[in-house]
Amino acid sequence: MADGDGADELRERLQRVGDCGVLRFITCGSVDDGKSTLIGRLLFDSKLLFEDQIRALEHDSRKYGTGGHEIDFALLVDGLEAEREQGITIDVAYRFFNTEKRKFIVADTPGHEQYTRNMATGASTADLAIILVDARKGLLTQTRRHTYIANMLGIRHAVLAVNKMDLIDHSRSGFHQIVSDYMALAEDLSFASITAIPISARYGDNIFQRSKLLKWYNGPTLMEHLDQVEAAADDVLDKPFRFPVQWVNRPNLDVRGFSGTVTGGRLRSGGTIRVAHSGKEAVVSRIMTADGDLDRVNAGEAVTLVLDREIDITRGDMLVEPNSPSEVSDQFAAEILWMAEEKMHPGRSYLLKSGSQTTPASVTALKHKLNINTFKKEPAKSLDLNEIGICTLSTSKLMAFDRYKVQRETGAFILIDRFTNQTVAAGMIDFSLRRASNTHTHVMDVNKARRAELKGQKPAVLWFTGLSGAGKSTIANLVECKLARNGRHTYSLDGDNVRQGLNRDLGFTDADRVENIRRIGEVAKLFLDSGLIVTCSFISPFRSERQMIREQVERGEFIEIFVDAPIEVCIERDPKGLYAKAQAGKIDNFTGIDSTYEPPDSPDLHIRTSEVSAETAAETVIDELVKRGLIG
Environment class of residue 160 by beta-carbon count within 10 Å: exposed (0-12), middle (13-18) or buried (19+)? Answer: buried
Structure-derived torsion over alpha carbons of residues 343, 349, 350, 356, reported in degrees to the nearest 10 = 150
Going from the C-alpha of 198 to that of each of 106, 155, 215, 579, the distances in angstroms are 20, 21, 11, 62
Whole-angstrom distance, CA of residue 307 vs CA of residue 245: 13
Which spans in 190-318 are helix H?
Answer: 222-228
Q: What is the distance between the alpha carbons of residues 194 and 183, in angstroms, rounded to a whole number?
A: 8
Q: Are 475 and 504 in contact (CB under 8 A)?
A: no
Name the residue type at position 524.
A
> Within 13 A of 491's CA, how many CA atoms are on the CB side?
16
The residues that bridge with 392 in the sheet, in sequence order, are 333, 365
Q: Which residues pair with 96 in a beta bridge?
A: 105
Helix 510-529 crosses helix 448-455 at what angle (to 10 degrees)? 70
Does residue 463 sit in helix, strand or coil? strand
Rg (CA), the chain: 30
* Distance (Å, whole) CA 487 – CA 207: 84
Q: Give the active site residue among 30, 468, 492, 540.
A: 540
The SS3 call for residue 18 is coil
Q: Where are the alpha helices (DSSP H) in 574-613?
A: 578-583
Task: Give the separation between CA 541 and CA 174, rounded to whole angstroms.
Answer: 54
* Residue whose C-alpha is closest to residue 483's, from 621, 335, 594, 315: 621
**Residue 624 burial (CB count, 10 A):** 15
Residues ≥6 apart with Cβ < 8 Å to 136? 164, 167, 168
Nearest CA-CA partner of 583 in 566, 567, 599: 567
Instruction: Give the DSSP H/E element, type plus range, for residue 307.
Output: strand 302-307
* 540 in catalytic set: yes
d(CA 365, CA 79): 41
Residue 181's φ and ψ, nearest 5 degrees, are -65, -40
Residues tagged active-site: 540
